[in-house]
Amino acid sequence: MAGTSNYIMARAEFDKPVKVLIVASPYYKDLSDNQIAGAVAELDAAGATHEIVHVPGALEIPTAIGIAERLSNFDGYVALGCVIRGETTHYDTVCNDSSRALQLLGLEGLCIGNGILTVENYEQAAARADPSDQNKGGGAAAAALHLIALARKWSNSNKGVGFTSDILLAGDTGGKTTA
């Protein structure tokens, strides 16, 4: 569409280390390598450390993230893969189920950048995976970093009944800690 542009948010910044797991499906190895390169560049630019694991296909990505969340200490996750439409309805199943599973994990509080490409053909996938073109791997990493930043921001907030008192008794810090 002519005249449209995409707004890109400023890079998330952190005062404490960030550790991210990239879970990638190398089913289309050249595309996966490009997605990973874009994601790693974004994570490096934000000062985040990362690990990379590979799984057979897009359907295994959410499962790997779920396992990592239960058994490790990552702050967030980047899901990278590619599903290209074929001749059967398997495309719809893989696209919908992988996306739905990632969304459910996100609603449970995991910080996930979804970079699973769902495209009609290889040319569309190549443009989206290319770090010098649409860079969807980098975009997924940026999304994960922004969610991590939000989670950290809100994890320090005091949850209450919707109001706070400005009146403190002697020696009362209002539930706040000082460092």
The number of beta carbons lying within 10 Å of the beta carbon of residue 161 is 5
pLDDT digits (tens, 9 = 90+) for 59-117: 999 999 999 999 999 999 999 999 999 989 999 999 999 999 999 999 999 999 999 99
d(CA 101, CA 25): 15
Q: Are 82 and 119 in contact (CB under 8 A)?
A: yes
The number of beta carbons lying within 10 Å of the beta carbon of residue 136 is 26
Q: What is the pTM of this model?
A: 0.85
Amino acid at 33: D
For residue 158, the 8-state DSSP code is P
Of the ranges 7-11, 52-56, 115-119, 172-176, which one carries the lowest mean pLDDT score? 172-176
Determine which one of 50, 54, 90, 146 is catalytic.
Answer: 90
Q: Can 50 be counted among the known catalytic residues?
A: no
CATH code of the region 19-155: 3.40.50.960
Identify the CA nearest to 144 among candidates 38, 32, 28. 38
Q: What is the average pLDDT score of the chain?
A: 90
> What is the residue extent of each domain of the chain?
19-155
β-sheet with 112-119: strand ranges across? 49-54, 19-24, 76-84, 112-119
pLDDT at 166: 54
